Amino acid sequence: MRHLLSLFFLCLGLLLSAAGPVTAWEGKWQVSSFHGVDYVRLNDVWKFYGFSPKQGRPGCVSFGAGNRVVSIRPSKQDFYVNNFRYILSYPVVQSGGLLYISSIDMSKLVDPVLRPRLSQSGRITTVVLDPGHGGHDAGAVSPYAREKDCNLALALKVREKLNKLGFKVVMTRDRDFFLTLGDRVAIANRTPESLFVSIHHNSGRSAASGIETFTLAPHGTTSPFARTRRTEDLAGNNQDSENIALATAVHSAAIKKTKAIDRGIQRARFSVLCTIKRPAILFEGGFVTHPQEGSKISSSAYQDILAQCICDGIVRYTSITRNHPAPIRHSGSSSTRAGTPRPGFGRSSDGAIITYPSRSAP
């Protein structure tokens, strides 16, 4: 089934700036369906942003403008912006000599990452830090490190740095005690003007290492970590754009500074992210089970570096989104609640609102 969506919107800036073999974007998104999922042509995406072909990662198709390079891998779910890795909700499709990206990835990942200034978190004065696990729940354990201790030590260092910069910080725990995921969410939801960073460390095979950052999977997409195929709209989906912008700021700061393996910004339906009503991420600072990385993440010196990265990312996020008005949040039915207040118009697909961007913005 094919859909043709027309946005009767002239985009003069982009018409003028389109370069190279890519002809001008015609002001409409042509939508195709593959395996029941809506897709748009990548050529249209490049045109929309005024991108032209660039030298990029091996095995990838790369486009960009200025010093920004975006790369995708045909048939895969990898998406790179200046070499920072994201995992798309659906694979890039190759069909009839053209490449397609899912509409939901375009709306909920590509656009908020490329234009974070459109993210509207409102005023942020407070950071809720959530060191994972605690008490009888040690989290991941290895001969090199115990997760609950690393989480707490790192969070305390982030608090100190944020306090020095004038942020208020609320800790879900500042000592070694247990609290439920619901307790953590409740603390975040009753803290106004806040964003939420849950801090964890990973476990896996002894060779597994690197940093990954999770945001809530958008409405209409599944979580690769869910036991069942859940695609419903959740309270946390109100902040889809803000979540990915915050993840980008924190994750890129951490990868750039630590040179750790970039496991990407990924989507999940972790309980702690589902019902948070503030911009929220879950940061995994490395593997306790990796001999070298496990030793590093339990050392105070490395925790200092990681804490600075998280802090720098938060500062960057708040400076990008500062001075932008608080979002207009829709209430009522779940299908309107998931809509983002960005320009363009939404269309319901499997009950999910997809808002196609309609014009360039700062």
Residues near Zn ion, by CB under 5 A: 132, 139, 200
> Residue 121 half-sphere exposure, CB side, CA atoms within 13 Å?
32
Q: In the complex, what is the shortest distance from the CB of residue 131 to Zn ion, in angstroms, rounded to a whole number?
A: 9
- Determine the Cα–Cα distance for residues 37 and 31; give it in Å rounded to an integer: 10
Q: In the complex, what is the shortest distance from the CB of residue 201 to Zn ion, in angstroms, rounded to a whole number?
A: 7
Return the number of the residue (44 or 284) whose C-beta is nearest Zn ion. Answer: 284
Q: In the complex, what is the shortest distance from the CB of residue 282 to Zn ion, in angstroms, rounded to a whole number?
A: 9
Q: How many residues does the structure list for the chain?
A: 362
Q: In the complex, what is the shortest distance from the CB of residue 97 to Zn ion, in angstroms, rounded to a whole number?
A: 44
Helix (H, G, I), strand (E, B) or coil at 88: coil
Sign of the four-CA dihedral 260, 261, 266, 271: negative
Helix (H, G, I), strand (E, B) or coil at 218: coil
Return the number of the residue (139 or 357) whose C-beta is nearest Zn ion. Answer: 139
Return the number of the residue (47 or 200) whose C-beta is nearest Zn ion. Answer: 200
Return the number of the residue (140 or 249) whose C-beta is nearest Zn ion. Answer: 140
Q: In the complex, what is the shortest distance from the CB of residue 141 to Zn ion, in angstroms, rounded to a whole number?
A: 11
Bridge partners (DSSP) of residue 169 are 127
Return the number of the residue (130 or 312) whose C-beta is nearest Zn ion. Answer: 130
- Determine the Cα–Cα distance for residues 252 and 267; give it in Å rounded to an integer: 16
Using an 8 Å Cβ cutoff, are 293 and 299 in contact? Answer: no
Nearest residue relative to Zn ion (C-beta) = 200
Return the number of the residue (183 or 232) whose C-beta is nearest Zn ion. Answer: 183
Using an 8 Å Cβ cutoff, are 193 and 279 in contact? Answer: no
The b/e string for 126-149 (b: 16+ C-beta within 10 A; e otherwise) is bbbbbbbbbeeeebbebebbbbbb
Q: In the complex, what is the shortest distance from the CB of residue 148 to Zn ion, in angstroms, rounded to a whole number?
A: 8
Nearest by Cα to 359 from 49, 63, 116: 49
